[in-house]
Amino acid sequence: MGIKAFYFCSQNDKTINIMADYTQMWTDLGLDHDNHNALLDNLGKAYQSIFMAQDNRPEGMSYFDFVMSEAHGLRIQELRDEQKAGRKIIGSFCVFVPEEIILAAGCTAVGLCAGADFAQEEVEKVLPRNTCSLIKSFFGFKLGKVCPYMEVSDMIVGENTCDGKKKSFEIFKDMVPNFYQMDLPQTKTPMARHMLKQEYKSFVEKLEEMTGKSISTEALKQGIATVNAKRQALRRLSMLRAANPAPISGLDALLINQIAFLDNPVRFTEKVNALCDELELLVKESKGAKTAKAPRVLISGCPMAIPNWKIPTIIESTGAVIVGEESCIGERGQRNLTDDSADNLNGLMDSITDRYLKIDCAVFTPNQERINHIKEMKQQYNADGVIHYGLQFCQPYIMESFSVEKELEKQDISVLRLETDYSQEDMGQLSTRVEAFVEIIK
């Protein structure tokens, strides 16, 4: 593979066009070529064995395969071209950072690398070993100089959704040139709503200062419309997965949700809707990624950023199909549209605040809404059981998993709690537990 972006074979075994040589671009961004080539090599092999080896993939997945093949190449070049045209690139880690506001400011939002172990020895020189994998991951991508999205970002936004992130950002802010920290409430009281709105207003002021332009009512309405359209497309995809047989694998659906944080939002929305057109025909013909007898699993818990595909791969290798994700990379991120009916900025900011306060992240207390949504999704997607996924040392989700399990078992819903990290060391143990669970729910 060498100095080119990693690539995969298409579904008919023809090779996607060889990618351009991006060596100079990666050099300009300050990436470590040896580390970066090793990362791309591992990603390419993993993608080939996990995604391209699937049977009966929809033709529309070819676009998303291409996006992944050029995730560190053409997409980064597009972002650099946008910068040359005057746009700022805003990187973030969380669905609480409103893309509507970023677009309204004439900027582009991108998700940052946080889904695999990298440079762990270096990371553990600045962070405790018992830090969650997601936090250690984005530190590793930065210290290893392998994430072009971090390096191309004009500003990185960190949000205080948990104590681990909050304290780690005190270190991380000195590792990047322009870091903005956003504080978030952990209750849903009127005072918490006021706090969130003030934080979003401060974010608006920061972007206006950065760009030298004021956000207008019209621009914010357009930003809301763009993001709502993306959410509606993803929601359409989710609803199609309720069919039996499911017309698309959980792995491919997860991949699409992950790419939503990287791709151009208008183009992405168009491609998701085109894929959904194809899936609707498959549903009518009763054709799916697996048979109608395949056990149907709902995943709940921590978000899974690229390339965190371990648990979904294990689940679907048993013959089960994942029909939904109660996660930020899934239902939690796409649920609820932002009301754009207000005719002034203050009213639109109220709408944005209200929409994001509905997110039922495990950092909120109390958080009965999340348990209710898991039960609703189990019914909506005709799931046979729920697998709760928690990253080791992620206190909010690990602690909440006990109450989730208790509440689901009260309604005779089969549930399996899994706690893991990004390593491959526990693959055998996890596979054994998942296989046993799938046998139970058959």
What are the pLDDT digits (tens) for 157-175?
999 999 999 999 999 999 9
Nearest Cα residue to 381 out of 278, 288, 276, 299: 299
Q: Would residue 274 count as lying in a domain? A: yes
| pLDDT tens-digit readout, 210-241 | 999 999 999 999 999 999 999 999 999 999 99
Q: Is the pLDDT of residue 11 over 60?
A: no
342: which residues sit within 8 A by CB, 6+ positions away?
Answer: 348, 350, 351
- Residue 54 CA, distance from chain mean position: 21
Domain membership flag for residue 162: no
Task: Compute the mean pLDDT over every residue in the chain, rounded to the nearest whole number.
Answer: 94
Burial class (CB in 10 A: 0-12, 13-18, 19+), 415: buried
State the total domains in the chain: 1
Q: Is residue 24 part of a domain?
A: no
Q: Locate 329 and state its tokens.
A: 């990379």
Residue 179 has pLDDT above 90, yes or no: yes
Residue 422 domain-assigned (yes or no) = yes
Q: Domain for residue 343, yes or no?
A: no
| Phi and psi torsions of 189, nearest 5° | -80, 165
Query: Does any domain span residue 267?
Result: yes
Please report whether residue 152 resides in a domain.
Answer: no
Residue 13 reports pLDDT greater than 80: no
Range of the domain at 381: 226-338+360-441
Mean pLDDT of 128-148: 97
The torsion angles phi and psi of 424, rounded to 5 degrees, stand at -100, 5
Encode pLDDT of 298-324 as tens digits.
999 999 999 999 999 999 999 999 999
Note the pLDDT of residue 4.
Answer: 42
Is the CB of residue 346 less than 8 Å from the CB of residue 266? Answer: no
pLDDT at position 7 over 70 = no
Q: How many angstroms separate the CA atoms of 315 and 319, rounded? A: 8
> Tokens 């991951």, residue?
137
Model pLDDT, residue 9: 39
pTM for the full model? 0.95
> Does residue 109 belong to any structural domain of this protein?
no
Contacts of 50 (CB under 8 A, 6+ apart): 251, 309, 313
Instruction: CATH number of the domain at 294, please.
Output: 3.40.50.11900
Task: Inform me whether the pLDDT recorded for 81 exceeds 60.
Answer: yes
Phi, psi of 67 (to 5 degrees): -60, -45
Q: Do 305 and 391 touch, CB atoms closer than 8 A?
A: no
